[in-house]
Amino acid sequence: MTLLQRLRTVVDSFWGACFGAGVYAAWAVWANWDAGRHLAFTAGLTHWVTSTFLTYTGTGAMRQLYRLGRQRGEAMWLGFGGGLLYTYALLISAHALVGTAHIALTLAAGVIPNLLFCGSYALLLSRTEPPAVSARAPFPTEPFAHEQTT
């Protein structure tokens, strides 16, 4: 197993997701402290659970999106963009649902790390697996051109 494959194993693991989410949970508590201790800890717990879930399932979503690309560059952009969209759709929804006082501030600390994570994971995918559809034949230029008439 290569070093990059080992790295993928750690990144894709549940425990790797739990560890990474802890940093963001602490930030969420601090960012919402002025709204009261109860709401701050609710925001922190929400962010930890959501971030753990996102990291664990988000890598799977990014792998699936990556496999839709026909070439490595396209596959990387699909994985990267889809990963960010998935992440922020879930985070914003979860914090809105629990009434987090400062959603933008809560999420602000994670913007650059999320960009780096999604970008580096898409790059890691490009180094450890080819886009799945790259082996397929190109789409026909005319509808039903691949069918033969009898």
pTM over 0.75: no
Q: Are 44 and 29 in contact (CB under 8 A)?
A: yes
d(CA 115, CA 128): 20
> Which residues are within 8 A (CB) of 85 and not within 5 positions of it... i.e. 6 or more apart?
none
Token code pair at residue 48: 């930890």
Greater confidence (85 vs 129) lies with 85
Look at phi and psi of residue 36 and say left if phi exceeds 0, alpha if psi is from -120 to 50, else beta: left
Q: Please, which pLDDT band fits residue 143 given cuts at 50, 70 and 90? A: very low
pLDDT in tens, 84-116: 999 999 889 988 999 988 999 988 988 988 899
What are the structural domain ranges in the chain? 3-132
Task: Give helix 14-31 / helix 37-66 axis angle, nearest 10°.
Answer: 140
Q: For 1-53, write each residue's pLDDT tens digit.
A: 788 888 778 777 787 778 778 888 888 899 899 999 999 999 999 989 988 88
Cβ neighbours for 25, distance < 8 A, ≥ 6 positions apart: 44, 45, 47, 48, 51
Q: Is 35 exposed, middle or buried (0-12, 13-18, 19+ CB in 10 A)?
A: middle
